[in-house]
Amino acid sequence: MTDDYNVIWKELGIDLERHDKLIGGLGVIYPKIYLSQQNRPKAMAYFDDFVIDLHGFRVRELYEHKKKGGRIIGTFCLYVPDEIVMTLGAIPVSLCGGTDFTIPDAEAILPINLCPLIKSFYGFKAGRLSPYFQVSDIIVGETTCDGKKKVYEVLSDLGPVYVLEIPHKKNEDSAKLWRIEIDKFVKMVEKMTGNKLTYEDLKEFTKIFNEKRRALQRLNALRWNSPPPISGKDALLVNQVAWFDEPVRFTKAVNELSDELEGRVKKGEGVFPEQQLRLMTSGTPYAIPNWKIHHIVESSGYPIVAEESCVGSRYYTELADETPDTIDGLIGALADRYLKINCACFTPNEERMDSIVDLYKKSKAKGLINYTLSFCTPYLVEANRVEMRAKKEGLPVLNIESDYSRGDNEQIKTRIQAFIESI
């Protein structure tokens, strides 16, 4: 099986020697962080298999799609409309980076004082260490944060990049700009694939992605039970795989997991003691294999029951309206849906504060950890808004800033432990 992948990786231009080390590293940490957990739902096996083989089986599916004349679109953030990509016969895959292995490659070109997620993904491309990057025909980003916006310029030295202009605000004029960008994007993908958007196909994929979001809503709502039937780490893994996997198959696997969890809830079965203090996180995302905060918190014995994050509620909370009866209406519904996502790149961002409080109450969390990646200006400054709002609502909050290095694990652990002791 691995020889099979090696052939594909070689053809994709991967630096095989370094890539072996990277995959080997994953093979060492995954058992430590994931497989060591007790009483995991059996249905997690699907997601374990996916991640252990992260650069294998899914990459081969994309590779075969390409061999048949299909196109692969690498994406960033949450605003590239997957529905449109798939309706036109292309496959979207997320390229955000979660490991510090590739950061030295990035630091050779990019500033050190830059978001680790951005350095990580740039390093994946520059170091030829990601088959997902290599198999993509084009990379599509958005003008979300300054870091990404400017790094796309540098990335374009290494391959074709298309940038969607996301507005900074969410008023009527912003919506008009965004619709223009979506229409241009449709034309670009139609040209690239040689296909045309049809009403029936777009409606079908709108439904498929809504089903995926509903499945994730259902799964993540099951975590709100006492005791939680699944660990935060496991739920995080599912939320992370969502960015890679084929949507219909993924939805089925998530629903099977939820079925198993419902059985646990009926029996009052959980993976943490029932009255154990529960936490939720908010803030910046967790790209695979960034499991740091969840691992530190849950190894200390406390469950994380929700994430207000791109890899979390911001991914699946909003559904697209399926009812329009014209193609124009469907595209408009998608544009509306995507613009609702509350990233700190928008100003103002009060809706994010509302959603944090809402999720806190629903998940019955007893403390909020607002997690920001180092050098992320929008979320670091917005942490002040989160703190003010949390104080107003009487929610205990801890602001944590960290990167992908392992050097601050003890410091983070002490802060989190002190926070928990103070609740």
The contact set with other proteins (CB under 8 A) reads 408, 410-411, 414-415, 417-418, 421-422
Nearer to other proteins, 323 or 414 (CB): 414
Nearer to other proteins, 362 or 415 (CB): 415
- 332: tokens are 């408009």
The least distance separating other proteins from the CB of residue 421, rounded to whole angstroms, comes to 4
Please tell me the distance from the alpha carbon of residue 15 to that of residue 7, in angstroms, as a whole number: 12
Nearer to other proteins, 142 or 401 (CB): 401
Nearer to other proteins, 4 or 410 (CB): 410
Eight-state DSSP code of residue 31: I
The least distance separating other proteins from the CB of residue 171, rounded to whole angstroms, comes to 34
The least distance separating other proteins from the CB of residue 124, rounded to whole angstroms, comes to 27
**Which spans in 14-166 are helix H?**
16-30, 45-52, 57-67, 82-87, 103-107, 116-126, 131-135, 146-155
C-beta of residue 321 within 8 angstroms of C-beta of residue 351: no
- 366: tokens are 């007893």
The least distance separating other proteins from the CB of residue 400, rounded to whole angstroms, comes to 11
Nearer to other proteins, 248 or 418 (CB): 418
Nearer to other proteins, 377 or 417 (CB): 417
The least distance separating other proteins from the CB of residue 377, rounded to whole angstroms, comes to 18
C-beta of residue 242 within 8 angstroms of C-beta of residue 10: no
Nearer to other proteins, 228 or 367 (CB): 367
Nearer to other proteins, 65 or 415 (CB): 415
Q: Cα 324–330–332 angle (5° rounding)?
A: 110
* Torsion angle (degrees, nearest 10) of CA 116, 308, 139, 136: 100
The least distance separating other proteins from the CB of residue 381, rounded to whole angstroms, comes to 14
The least distance separating other proteins from the CB of residue 399, rounded to whole angstroms, comes to 9
Q: At what angle do helices 232-241 and 292-299 cross, to 10 degrees?
A: 160
Establish how many alpha carbons lie within 13 A of residue 2's alpha carbon, considering only the half-sphere containing its beta carbon. 7
The least distance separating other proteins from the CB of residue 414, rounded to whole angstroms, comes to 5
Sheet containing strand 279-283, edge to edge, reads 304-308, 279-283, 367-373, 397-402
Nearest to 288 by CA among 26, 41, 16: 26
Strands (E), 125-264: 138-142, 161-164
Query: What one-character-per-residue DSSP string does 341-387 give?
Result: ---TTSSS-HHHHHHHHHHHHHHT-SEEEEEEETT-HHHHHHHHHHH
